[in-house]
């Protein structure tokens, strides 16, 4: 049995949603890929699959060998889910301030969890495992991370929409923005817009300026695969605005999205009409976070969500 062939049937070809809303007295539309339809519930299944498949093909990774990664959560969950099927042990290095749901899911998938003070300590811990023979997926610098989105996510969007004016996405590793953005810029001249958490603004200022609540974005470093020359604009979104938008999508339309998806949707609102983004995961990993808190947002209050349809 070709295990990668079987896993591939559970990843990708996710729905593309057209969301209609009213903002500043105008009826507008945004488009979003529903990425929680993937195997482990997030967009990270795409790069995890591509990275592990390529590593097996070139002999860098073998069955039974330990896989290690530093992650804010979703990539670790994706790697753990796929690796469990491949019969590879997994060690995940993750900052201890990530959501409790992430930690519990990783343990359910059989991963060994190394909790660190921050991402930098996580990178150091991962290198220790590499010295003991583990395979490091290096998601922040692995070009197969970008290729996964160039070859799948972007092509799926383009198959449904030949004229994409703008692609918007937050940057964790940068794989989604770089892969989808470069493909759509080549094919239809789409603008590429990055989302930067307002409280940290690492893309804007070159270093993290503080702490934010949008888990999965702005992981304390500018990733090596992030190419700023591809980016036409950076939009800052505050944590509270992102949380409130995620909550509004759930309470008004029944779309249970994660916090980064709230930020991404707001990015499309600020960017331009008919912009495309991704809803990276759903809200179930964030119930212990501020997603359940009573937070207000003047920006989100100005947006009236009208409806959606699959295209």
Q: What fold characterizes domain 3-37+150-310?
A: Rossmann fold (3.40.50)
- For the domain made up of 45-136, the CATH class stated in words is alpha beta
Among 44, 53, 191, 248, the one annotated catalytic: 44
The position carrying tokens 């997994």 is 90
Contact 161, 133 (CB under 8 A): no
pLDDT of residue 163: 94
pLDDT of residue 58: 95
Helices vs. strands in the chain: H and E counts, helices first: 12, 11
Confirm whether 3-37+150-310 and 45-136 share one CATH topology: yes
Count of C-beta atoms within a 10 Å radius of residue 107:
13
DSSP H stretches of helix in 26-118: 45-57, 74-86, 100-108
Among 260, 261, 285, 297, the one annotated catalytic: 260
Determine the Cα–Cα distance for residues 43 and 139; give it in Å rounded to an integer.
Answer: 13
In sequence order, the 6+-apart residues with CB closer than 8 A to the CB of 201 are: 208, 209, 218, 236
Contact 145, 227 (CB under 8 A): no
pLDDT of residue 221: 79
Q: What is the 3-state secondary structure (H, E, C) of 92-107?
A: EEEECCCCHHHHHHHH
pLDDT of residue 222: 86
Sequence ranges of the domains in the chain: 3-37+150-310, 45-136
CA of 122: how far to CAs of 23, 68, 126, 202, in Å?
A: 41, 11, 6, 19
- The pTM score is 0.94
The yes-or-no answer on residue 260 being catalytic is yes
The yes-or-no answer on residue 30 being catalytic is no
Determine the Cα–Cα distance for residues 282 and 6; give it in Å rounded to an integer.
Answer: 24
pLDDT of residue 218: 67
In sequence order, the 6+-apart residues with CB closer than 8 A to the CB of 227 are: 174, 178
Mean pLDDT by 10 residues, the chain (311 residues): 92 99 97 98 98 97 96 90 97 89 93 90 91 93 96 98 96 95 98 92 72 74 92 95 97 97 98 97 90 90 98 94
Among residues 149, 154, 153, 170, the alpha carbon closest in space to that of 264 is found at: 170
Determine the Cα–Cα distance for residues 4 and 6; give it in Å rounded to an integer.
Answer: 5
């Amino acid at each position: 049995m070709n295990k990668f062939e079987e896993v591939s049937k559970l990843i990708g070809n996710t729905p593309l949603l057209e969301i209609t809303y009213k903002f500043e007295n105008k009826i507008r539309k945004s488009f979003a890929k529903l990425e929680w339809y993937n195997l482990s519930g997030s967009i990270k299944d795409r790069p995890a699959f591509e990275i592990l498949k390529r590593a097996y093909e070139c002999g860098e990774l073998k069955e039974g060998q330990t896989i290690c990664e530093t992650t804010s959560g979703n990539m670790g969950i994706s790697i753990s889910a796929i690796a469990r099927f491949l019969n590879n042990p997994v060690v995940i290095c993750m900052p201890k301030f990530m959501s409790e749901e992430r930690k519990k899911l990783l343990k359910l998938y059989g991963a060994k969890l190394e909790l660190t003070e921050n991402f930098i300590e996580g990178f150091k811990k991962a290198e220790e495992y590499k010295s003991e023979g583990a395979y490091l997926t290096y998601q922040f610098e692995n070009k197969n991370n970008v290729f996964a989105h160039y070859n799948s996510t972007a092509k799926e969007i383009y198959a449904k929409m030949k004229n994409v004016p703008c692609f918007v996405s937050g940057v964790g590793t940068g794989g989604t923005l770089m892969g989808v953005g470069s493909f759509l810029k080549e094919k239809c001249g789409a603008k590429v817009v990055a989302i930067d958490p307002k409280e940290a603004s690492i893309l804007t200022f070159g270093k993290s300026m503080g702490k934010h609540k949008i888990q999965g974005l702005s992981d304390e470093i500018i990733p090596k695969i992030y190419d700023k020359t591809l980016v036409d604009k950076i939009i800052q979104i505050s944590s509270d605005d992102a949380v409130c938008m995620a909550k509004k999508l759930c309470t008004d339309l029944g779309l249970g999205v994660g916090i980064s998806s709230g930020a991404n949707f707001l990015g499309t609102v600020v960017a331009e009409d008919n912009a495309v983004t991704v809803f990276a995961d759903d809200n179930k990993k964030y119930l212990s976070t501020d997603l359940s808190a009573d937070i207000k947002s003047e920006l989100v209050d100005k947006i009236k969500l009208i409806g959606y349809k699959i295209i």
